[in-house]
Each structure stands twice: as structure tokens, then as C-alpha cells.
Amino acid sequence: MSPSFMRSVVHSFRRLVMPSFRPAAPAPLPSVVRPAGVAPARSPKPFAAWAEASAARGRSPLLAGVAALLLVATAPAAWGAAGGDHTHRPGHPSVPRSGCAGTSLLFCEDFDALAPGTAQSSAWGTVANNGTLTVEPVASGGNDLHIGTQGNGSAFLQVDNFTAPGNSFWGRVRLRVGAFPTAPDWAHWTIVEATGDGAGYIRPLGGQYVPDAGTDLWGVGSDGGPTGDWTAWQRSVPAQAGAWQCVEWQMDATDNRISVWIDGEPKSDLTVDTTHHGGNPVDFVFPTFHTVKLGWQLYQGNPTPAGYDVRLDDIALSSERVGCGDGTTSGR
């Protein structure tokens, strides 16, 4: 809602509804007490309290209600920004979420229909070693998946009996990694892994701490197949800790191609295919996929930091691109 439109609304209201009203000095808005570390979430309660206080002072309830609506409409976006808030954060665009109900996706999970607590569902399983998976509520409503691991622990949501038409599929997940490893050198981590009939643990989303870069870098990788153990990290795609991002990937079996997008932007440097990858000089070939895991695994012991905190939400696997809900879609 533009400032010019709001000024027009206020002017019309004053002219038509309250021509003789002379406003007294406004009462201060009540302070909102929040637990430490919790950012403010948009809520009508402070304004309702203010409206009630205004009525108690003899002011028009209608005036108080309209003023409250104006304050909500012009509130800064930061009021809706919170670590667990679905709105106004990178990777969680300010558009309505369609959720998973009634979708024709190959797999969908937004956690909103699940009870908070230990993560469990009839639609998927979990695997963990020195790790936990918990469904937790977020400030704006709904839930996300909180993953915690220690050391070189792992914790994954696992989709079994997965079938992709033509062995090709798209994936989308919104994620936030609290911190990436900074030791030991070349610390290697995985967020998404796909396996099936045939050799290879295919990792479209993962990365490594690269010491001479001084940071962690995203990289597509594989292990266990003829191409060996490799992660094709790229200096042009550093990993960003402490921020929500929407990450997409495509697995195209026609040429064993993996492509990645972050917040709707293609990361072409990460693309690998049959003959262009980071492994042994043989063809890179997909297995016939039947399992997809999403979560966190670190492979080296005694890392820094010692523990890892990861949040996932809005997981989708599809035969066409799903997008991030902000116009970055195709095939629809």
C-alpha cells in the first residue's frame, strides 16, 4: 500500500467522517515484551489494546479502529521479520503459500498439518545419528522442521518409494543453516541426497569449507559410483549462514544433468552432467532414483562449531519446476 494512497485515505476520512474533530495528543502505544532473541511478529493485539484505551478515554471507537488499521497498513516490513517467521524473509516471500493440500506434486511437505514435537509422518521417515528432527511452530503460524546435530552427526527426512517420471525431477526447499563449518579444512556437508537402483549417492545440494577461500562454498557432488567421491564446489556460490533461502534443483536424466537455483537465480557454475563433473574421468550416470533425503550431514569429526542448527520448510518434489512463490516458476 503506497504512502500516497494512505495520505488520500487519511484526507478523505478527516473530510467526510470527522470534519470538526480536533485530535488530542495520541497516547503512546503499549510496549511489547518479547523473549530474548525473538524478533517482533506482526500482530493486531497492541493496536486492539490501544483502541480499547482510546475508547476508555472517551474517544470514538470508530476513530480508534480506523487509526489502528492505518498503523497496521503502514507498519514497516521489519515488524514481520523473524527467524521463524514465514513472511518478509529471504526464501519466504511475502505471498500467500499454497501449502500441500490438493497438490499434484510427487512429494510435498510444509509441516503445517503436523503436531509440534518429534518429527514423524506416514508420508516419510527419518534417519539420524547424533541428530534430532523436531517440528516446531513459527511466529506467523504454521510449522517448520528443526534439525540439530552434534559433531559429524546427521539427521534427515527420508522420502522412500519415490518414483520420478523418466527418472527426472525438480526439487524445492526453503532452508536456513545457522552456521557452516569452519574447521577442519575441507569439511564436507550434504543437505539433499538421492539414491536408488545403481551405484552412487547423488548430492544436488551440498558443499565444503574451502580453506583458501576462507568460507563454505555450495557444490553438487556424488559418492559411491564410478566417478568416485567428489564435490564440484564453486567460488562464485558461497554458502550464506543465518539467512533463509529458497533453493531449487533439477535432476535431468537425459544427460545426467543437475542444475541449481538459489532465491530464483540460476547458479550455472554449479551445473554438472554426464561428462562435466568433479570426479574420475568416466561418465557420471544417475541411478534409478527411489529415495530422497533432506536434512544435514557433516562427514568430518571434531568440527567447528561443534553443533549445527538447520531449518527446512516447504519441501516439494515435482515433474516440473515448482518455483519459490514469487514469480520464479515455469511449466505452469
Write down the pTM of the prediction. Answer: 0.72
Assess contact for 197 and 288: CB atoms under 8 A. Answer: yes
Alpha helices in 108-188 (DSSP H): none
Instruction: For the chain of 332 residues, list the mean pLDDT of each consecutive stretch of 10.
Output: 44 39 36 34 35 40 40 34 38 48 85 97 98 95 96 98 98 98 98 97 98 98 97 98 98 98 98 98 98 98 98 97 69 26
The span from the CA of 206 to the CA of 191, in Å, is: 5
CATH fold of 107-318 reads Jelly Rolls (2.60.120)
* pLDDT given for residue 325 in this prediction: 81
- Span(s) in the chain for CATH 2.60.120.200: 107-318
205-241 burial: b if 16+ Cβ within 10 Å, else e: bbbbbbeeeeebbbbbbbbebebeebbbbbeebbbbe
Output 20-28 pairs: Cβ under 8 A, ≥24 positions apart.
21/63, 24/59, 27/53, 27/54, 27/57
Joined grid coordinates for residue 193: 541426497
pLDDT tens by residue, 13-57: 343 333 333 333 333 333 333 333 333 333 333 333 333 333 443
45-to-32, 33, 50, 161, 191 alpha-carbon distances in Å: 10, 12, 9, 46, 38
- Alpha carbon distance 247, 260 (integer Å): 7
